[in-house]
Structure 1
Amino acid sequence: MKALQGVEGRVEWQERPSPDCDAGQIRVRVAAAGLNRADLLQRAGSYPPPPGASDTLGLECAGVVSEVGPGVDWNVGDRVCCLLAGGGMAQEVVLDARHALPVPEGLSLAQAAALPEVYATAWLNLFQLARLQPGEKVLLHAGASGVGSAAIQLCKAFGNPCWVSVGSEERLAHCIALGAQGGVLRKQNLESLRELGPFDVILDPVGGQYAELNLGLLARDGRWVNIGLMGGREARLDMAQLLGKRVQVIGSTLRNRDDGFKAELLADLRRQVWPLFAEGRLDPLLQRRFSQDEAADAFAALESNQIAGKIALVLDPDLA
């Protein structure tokens, strides 16, 4: 099968053997795969897959079940979208059957490919780890990203006013259209966020560069969830402020979680979030599709920071 690899900072299609489908697993013929910043990091050689995971790029995909192992509830022909530790950008993928979700009614497979990673990330960090309660205020850094766009919609659906930091007026308008109350441009005046706070929960993929700011923006008993290091890995913090506000700092990753954790997360997502797609309250926000031959262009588009929402790489246009 053809599989997309990161090779010295570029992407390259290579032939790889098809994996076996064992008990508890399904094989999926991939229609499309979603792109995420983790794929950019892996392409650059700075974010290798966890031990035992495929070294093929792609943390999420959607397609049609083509084989089922013993002890599996899925059937051949089912349309599914999948959360992966790697391997989504290939003609087929074999995965733990518990890590697949049904494609929401009314969505194409290309749209569904843009769902698992970002909605699982937003749900895990806001509602499971930060224990977000109705009415609590949220700040989302990088609010127009895939995760940010999903998080805005979840906040709106579950009764949480949210604000964002973004890179342009266009991206701020995108966030407000999704349901954000407002926000600021990061290159102009992040300090003006203080006028909008304090916030009960901050979801931050930036890291070190925003650490001092985040601590100042949080309310008493606030929760600061860090999910990335785009702004560096080191920071100075006023520990008296941390203690005085009783702030919880939560470091969170998803890719290297164990299979059982991911299975429980996706089961919760299926119960509480997936029905909202059929109701029209959530949208995959697939902004652009690229063909298999345009893989390098797809990565360049994601890297440009000009996409609000998600990008999909279409591997099988007859399915997608």
Structure 2
Amino acid sequence: MRARPVLAITSGEPAGVGPELCAQLASRASRARLVVLGDIGLMRERAAGVAEVRAFKRSAPAPAGVVEVLHVPLAAPAVPGRLDVANARYVLALLDRALDGCRGGEFAGVVTAPVHKGVINDGGVPFSGHTEYFAERTGTPRVVMMLVGGGLRVALATTHLPLAAVPAAITRELLEDTLRILHADLVGRFGLAAPRILVAGLNPHAGEGGHMGREEIDVIVPVLDKLRSAGMQLVGPLPADTLFVPHTLAQGDAVLAMYHDQGLPVLKHVSFGGGVNVTLGLPVIRTSVDHGTALDLAGTGRADPGSLFAAVDLATGMAEAAS
């Protein structure tokens, strides 16, 4: 009988909704054993009236309805909705502990609740996001951001760039590396033996034969031809305005969009509140919620746990596929 995967759930910014969302994990069954990383006093406070909190004991899994917490101490008391730079390094300590546990075999993957980039930077630590932090900590030269939800998997060739910088960023090397990472993780972590990837063009109408831009001709098509000859099933470059119609989507297992706002508005339209951010290319499984810290909702009990539930379910499936 296959062992039940153990997942680390980082509770994120202590002034945000992360801790109370983690408390709600006790309300539903999971195929994985879920271990929340955070200050146990904070978790008891935010879980009051929702779930019992118990210290994580490796050899004694908690019963259903109980939140297991691996204690990482706060640097300063946390008040819902009020950021404190004193806890910036606490947030990073959660990530470090989860990552160390994944790399040491203690955890099968990590699911991250939202952090606040600004307060971490204000605390004296240059920080651009979970993805970049994990990539640097693991020495991974290139990772790929993919969002999953509403029956779609949408990966990005470029992420948080000004639109004017996108064409120059899409090089043959970048595109080939991105497609190789996407293909490898669809096979190894999503259990797809022969994934079909739909690749969007950069320009309207995929360049319309060069009349609306030559990136498709000069960059995208040569890479697709090279990788097809290596056995990958790639369709494209396709005009983005017709790629996301049901008939076309049915022909693929994932989409590669060229830039952030080409692919994500469609996915978020069909999955908002239940979408999952996945980092591909890391040596560990990592999924995340698709929303921020929601400081205005912290401590109110009104935050929607749907995205965290979906992130846990996806990480569980990925861990099972990889085992």
Fold-level similarity (TM above 0.5): no
Largest Rg, 1 or 2? 2
With structure 1 as the length reference, what TM-score do the two structures score? Answer: 0.32
Structure with greater helix percent? 2
Structure with greater strand percent? 1
Give the structure, 1 or 2, with the largest relative contact order (CA under 8 Å, sep 6 or more): 2
